[in-house]
Amino acid sequence: EVQLVESGGGLVQPGRSLRLSCAASGFTFDDFAMHWVRQAPGKGLEWVSGINWNSRKIAYADSVKGRVTISRDNAKNSLYLQMNSLRPEDTAFYYCAKSPCSTGCDSFHHWGQGTLVTVSS
Amino acid sequence: DIVMTQSPDSLAVSLGERATINCKSSQSVLYSSNNKNYLAWYQQKPGQPPKMLISWASAREFGVPDRFSGSGSGTDFTLTISSLQAEDVAVYYCQQYYSSPLTFGQGTKVEIK
């Protein structure tokens, strides 16, 4: 069974940093592209960033570009999101999501339960 | 960026009746080289993460009831729930994966009338 478990969320002041992690299990991690998708409380879904199986193809939403870095460690079956210079508008549930293939088919086949990031002073 | 626009924003349907949700993309998401539409549909119930229902515009995911179907091509797509059940109350999103940035529709809330 595919499992994606996010961690690292919490309350952080504006301008500070946070690192989210996603522990994956139940599938061959390095066979699939992975993504972060966020959802502000009561709002819709917003794709944040994606990374292909070998980390050679990475993309970011304009809203986070330059402030966020996605990475993965295939040996540890883990996905990460380093978030810097956080803003109140970054407040959201952050979901780790698995694509159904290694590259080029970036739908979200499986989702974690999400971790809440709250940016507030 | 490809803008995804869903209609309506919400709808109330009687149990057993049909629910239809539309999704329009600002440019075609049909990839000519493989004739595939890069369009997915998701269901999100309160307090839960989204769940993929349909990929490639019309391919139902394993385990998704056959009352859910997707159709359309190019820029106009439809998710149909043929006979609404109580457990189908949720917000439904379309998403294009034709090009980056990946984008979602604003969501359609489905309720029981």
Give the model confidence (pLDDT) of A64-93 as tens digits.
Answer: 999 999 999 999 999 999 999 999 999 999
Cα separation, A60 vs B36, in Å, equals 24
Chain A residues within 8 A (CB-CB) of chain B?
A: 35, 44-47, 50, 59-62, 95, 100, 105-114
Counted across chains A and B, CB pairs separated by less than 8 A come out at 56
Residue B51's closest CA among B95, B18, B17? B95
A14 min Cα distance to partner chain B (Å): 25
pLDDT value at residue A72: 98
The sign one gets for the Cα dihedral A20, A85, A44, B96 is negative
Q: State the pLDDT at residue B90.
A: 98
Residues B76, B82, B86: CA angle, nearest 5 degrees? 115
pLDDT confidence of residue A102: 77
DSSP H helix total and E strand total for chain B: 0, 13
pLDDT digits (tens, 9 = 90+) for B16-74: 999 999 999 999 999 999 999 999 999 999 999 999 999 999 999 999 999 999 999 99
Residue A101 has pLDDT above 90, yes or no: no
Q: Is B64 on the interface with A (CB under 8 A)?
A: no
Chain B partners within 8 Å of A105 (Cβ): 38, 55, 97
Q: Give strand pairing partners of B94.
A: B41
The yes-or-no verdict on residue B3 having pLDDT over 90 is yes
pLDDT for res A92: 98
Rounded to the nearest 5°, which phi and psi values hold at B61?
A: -70, 155
Strand partners, B112: B13
Has residue A104 got a pLDDT over 90? no
Determine which of B2, B9, B31, B100 to mutate to test the interface with A (most A C-beta atoms within 10 Å). B100
How much is the average pLDDT of A26-36? 96
CA atoms within a 13 Å half-sphere pointing along the CA-CB vector of B112: 9
